[in-house]
Amino acid sequence: MDNKFVVSAAPHLHDRTSVSFVMWQVVIALIPAMIAAVYFFGFHALLLTLYGGVAAMAVEALIQKCRKKPITIMDGSAFLTGMLVAFNLDAGVPWWLTVIGAVFAIAIGKHAFGGLGMNPMNPALLGRAFVLASWPTLVTSGWMHTLKGSINGIKVTDIPIDSLATISPKAYTLLTSATPLNVAKSMRDTTFVQSMTTNASQNTQLHDLIHNALISSQNIQHLFWGNIGGCLGEVSAFALLLGALWLIYNHIIEWRIPVSYILTVFVLGFLMDGMSVSSAMFQVLAGGVILGAFYMATDPVTSPMTKTGRIIFGIGCGVVTIFIRYKGGYPEGVCYSILLMNLLVPLIDKYTIPRAFGEVKK
Amino acid sequence: MRLKSFPGGVHPHDNKHFSKNAQVEEMPLPGKVVIPLSQHIGAPAKPIVQVGDKVLTGQQIAEPGGFVSIPMHASISGTVSKIDLFPHPIGNRQMAIEITGDGTDEWVTLEDNPDFMNLSPKDMKEKIAQAGICGMGGAGFPTHVKLSPPAENPIDTVILNGVECEPYLTSDYRVMMERGADIVSGLKAIMKILNAANGYIGIEVNKKDAIAKMSQLVKGEKNIQVVGLKLKYPQGAEKQLIYATTKRKVPSKGGLPLAVGVVVQNVGTAVAVYEALRFGKPLIQRVVTMTGKIVKNPKNLRTRIGTPMSEMLAFCSGTKSEIGKVISGGPMMGIAIPTLDTPVGKGTSGIVILDPKEARKDEENVCLHCGRCVDVCPMDLFPAQIAACVRTEKWEQADKSGLTDCMKCGSCAYVCPAHIKLVQWIEIGKQKVAEMQRAKK
């Protein structure tokens, strides 16, 4: 009798997922958003993404070589990080900015903490935060218009002629080159609103006009389909949702984080802006909530492991996002909200460990 | 029918099609049988025969080693040829009695008892104990012990486990299809012994015809119900089955089903109970599924206990290609055994043969902290954390995290994208913690 049978511990079956399967599935899920980015911003959107992905893989290989560790760049995790760095930056940034973001994400965000599975914060978002802090003007000014649409949904032609005649240069720049969230934030700033033109009643009129344009159903539709500027990857909510459905259907991500995150943003947006459903929709669709909720807050490494924990995490992200948007110094809060909540994950996990089946309450 | 279930769990492909429709066949008498002295939970049996003794089929050859123990019987007639260490269905080598058959299969005289339902519960238990019956679903707890709950734990519910949630295995299914009436008789006897008011037969929904068949058989019985259960692993785990059927939760940290007034028995055990009471027949044969993608003719075989697995595989015309792994039991909780010389035991419900590709060992990757293991754990534990505690030898913390509540169903390891051998780590922890507790006492 030959005794060459494999002897190993049960279970002898596996559902055939693996780390690289999970990572590449997320990359695949981002393809619709990639196509949308190319459609709305042009071919260089794809190049920027590839720069990010390849730079991330290269720096991971280099670090693993130096540390004499097995090279694992084909597991998709580094490529995904680099891709997400590009997705979180404006489509108009210089290529080296994306590369620096990706390198920082992998070197400091991931490997400084010990590599895959060890990092406390989402590396791609850390990369974005790093370049935002280092080159703030490059990252936040000169937002790219979509090829066929506008930057924020405000058409200069809609503005009454007499207002245009006296509009301040600052206000004009805002309307023509700032993101919808930035415009919305400025509209909540009374000092800014009062300085838009020289006439107080015109200012009120202009404020109402801009505000209504932002949350008009037409603009909400543009935000959904993607004809409004913004970061490279977040341009089309529709494309992102397609990929997200794929991920949920294939059990790559779980619904709790994105749903609680988005619902929180919706409810708070509704409450903060005079019980307006349009405002709530605007808060969800403008900026990076969809991209963040489905693709970054769900990063397995940096999100809670328990079901209750995931809901707390999602709600926390939503609260911090809205807080930054309405009360903070930045027009957008997705990046920092997720990074902040990442740091709370060990604590959330600790206090949400499930009670064992049949455990007697004490 | 509204299907019942439990939270958590996984959905492996059930792969029952290989052997599902193969009617139970009688496995030809083996030339030799090897009867391990420990096929159950509790003290090993003690041999009462010596090398050279002639034995008849059904003759007792080993007596119980204590109350929580069972006797062993010769499964063929012949001569005791060896009492030594032999390969055991749990993968190691253990003491066993080898009988070389004389080919006549001459039985001891059995006591026919058509009126067995009129026996007192005490006499019934005595007969079950003498027949050497233990749980046939895998764990192998002596049945007469399970049927003797302490007075402070009255039992009101008996659940027969026909779930067979392990992929590949079809022996319970075939028994339900072919011996349904005997299952019901066995259930009634068990209910009488325990003075239990309610009887349930739990069956997973991938066996619709078995649900129909058993429902038909219990139609006239007011207090017996067939419960259809969702197709989900581990639906047949005792605590999960009890929860799905009665919504009662067996207490954690070592609680037993009798704490919630329930006794669970495998459907095969019910047949063995019936045969012991009705015909005085000891447990010397059982239905075993021999299956796998590469087995030429997968079968369900009524096999004498102690038959070498190699003979059974030969009876199934062998394999189409090279064997990678042989699993005694199902692929989720069964044991990979090193040799086909291993005999079939009372708890061997099936033998699954995998090819080398299916048997491939995966490298462990790092934990992503994705929480899938937490999502699927039917015991609501935190498998990755327990495994991490074991790895870093934090035994007390591992114990606190619910290590002992783990039933090793393997759902966590099944879904782990990093292929971490969670069950193996937890098993190491269990052994270490048990060792420490013994040392304390």
Q: A250-289, pLDDT tens digit by residue?
A: 989 999 999 999 999 999 999 988 888 999 999 999 889 9
| Residue pair B315/B38 in contact by the 8 Å Cβ criterion | no
Quote the CA–CA distance of B198 and B262 in Å, as a whole number: 10
Average pLDDT of the segment spanning B385-389:
93
Residue type, B232: K
Q: Give the model's confidence band at B85: pLDDT under 50 very low, under 70 low, under 90 confident, else very high.
A: very high
b/e map of B396-417 (b: 16 or more CB within 10 Å)?
eebbebbbbbbbbbbbbbbbbb
Contacts of A121 in chain B (CB under 8 A): none
Of A6, A13, A306, the CB nearest to B374: A306
| Fold category of B111-279 in CATH | Rossmann fold (3.40.50)
Contacts of A255 in chain B (CB under 8 A): none
**Cross-chain Cβ contact A359/B252 below 8 Å:** yes
Element (H, E) at B383: helix B383-391
Residue type, A136: P
**pLDDT at residue number A1:** 46
Q: At what angle do helices A307-327 and A256-272 cross, to 10 degrees?
A: 30
Q: Do the strands B60-63 and B72-73 form a parallel or antiparallel pair, or are they unpaired?
A: antiparallel
Any idea what DSSP says for residue B109? P
Going from N- to C-terminal start, the domains of chain A cover 19-140, 156-218, 253-347
For residue B372, what is the nearest residue in chain A, using CA coordinates?
Answer: A305
**Cross-chain Cβ contact A15/B324 below 8 Å:** no
Q: Give the model's confidence band at A142: pLDDT under 50 very low, under 70 low, under 90 confident, else very high.
A: low
Q: How close does chain A come to B83, measured CA to CA in Å?
A: 21
Residue type, B352: V
Quote the CA–CA distance of B132 and B69 in Å, as a whole number: 8
Which of B146, B107, B144, B22 is CA-nearest to residue B285? B107
**Helices H, strands E: what count in chain A?**
19, 0
Q: Which residues pair with B301 in a beta bridge?
A: B25, B288
**Cross-chain Cβ contact B370/A356 below 8 Å:** no
Q: How close does chain B come to A32, measured CA to CA in Å?
A: 25
Quote the CA–CA distance of B192 and B187 in Å, as a whole number: 9
**pLDDT at residue number B147:** 94
- pLDDT of B274 strictly over 80: yes
Which of B247, B240, B212 is CA-nearest to residue B228? B212
**pLDDT at residue number B314:** 96
Q: Which long-range contacts (CB under 8 A, 24 or more apart) does B42-49 make?
A: B42/B66, B42/B68, B42/B69, B42/B70, B42/B141, B42/B142, B42/B145, B43/B68, B43/B69, B44/B69, B44/B94, B44/B95, B45/B69, B45/B70, B45/B71, B45/B72, B47/B83, B47/B97, B49/B80, B49/B97
Average pLDDT of the segment spanning A241-256:
94
Q: A95-123, pLDDT tens digit by residue?
A: 999 999 999 999 999 999 999 999 999 99
At residue A95, φ and ψ (nearest 5 deg) are -60, -35
List the single best residue of A305, A311, A342, A348 to mutate versus B (max B Cβ within 10 A): A305
Model pTM? 0.90
Q: Which long-range contacts (CB under 8 A, 24 or more apart) does A267-274 make?
A: A268/A318, A268/A319, A268/A322, A269/A322, A272/A322, A272/A326
**pLDDT at residue number A361:** 59
For residue A299, what is the nearest residue in chain B, using CA coordinates?
Answer: B370
Least confident span in A72-81, A186-195, A317-326, B177-186: A186-195
**pLDDT at residue number B360:** 84
**pLDDT at residue number B29:** 95
Average pLDDT of the segment spanning B76-85:
96
3-class SS at A214? helix
Q: How close does chain B come to A78, measured CA to CA in Å?
A: 14
Q: Do the strands B198-204 and B224-229 form a parallel or antiparallel pair, or are they unpaired?
A: parallel
Contacts of A360 in chain B (CB under 8 A): 251-252
Judged by CB atoms within 8 Å, which residues 232-271 of B form the interface with A? 239, 243, 249-253, 255
Quote the CA–CA distance of A102 and B47 in Å, as a whole number: 71
Q: Give the model's confidence band at A235: pLDDT under 50 very low, under 70 low, under 90 confident, else very high.
A: confident
Quote the CA–CA distance of B166 and B151 in Å, as a whole number: 34
List the single best residue of A1, A4, A6, A360 to mutate versus B (max B Cβ within 10 A): A6
- pLDDT of A33 strictly over 70: yes
Quote the CA–CA distance of A211 and A205 in Å, as a whole number: 10
Q: Do the strands B78-87 and B93-101 form a parallel or antiparallel pair, or are they unpaired?
A: antiparallel
Is the confidence metric ipTM above 0.90 for this complex? no
Q: B293-317, pLDDT tens digit by residue?
A: 999 999 999 999 999 999 999 999 9
The residue behind tokens 């020289």 is A198
Going from N- to C-terminal start, the domains of chain B cover 111-279, 372-440
- Residue B137 burial (CB count, 10 A): 25
Residue type, A206: L
* Helical spans, DSSP H, in A105-168: 123-134, 136-140, 161-166
Q: Give the model's confidence band at B1: pLDDT under 50 very low, under 70 low, under 90 confident, else very high.
A: low
Judged by CB atoms within 8 Å, which residues 91-150 of B form the interface with A? 91
Contacts of A354 in chain B (CB under 8 A): 374, 380-382
Any idea what DSSP says for residue B40? S
Q: What CA–CA distances, in Å, run from A23 to A29, A78, A247, A301, B374? A: 10, 9, 11, 12, 20
List the single best residue of A1, A357, A360 to mutate versus B (max B Cβ within 10 A): A357
Average pLDDT over all residues of chain B: 94
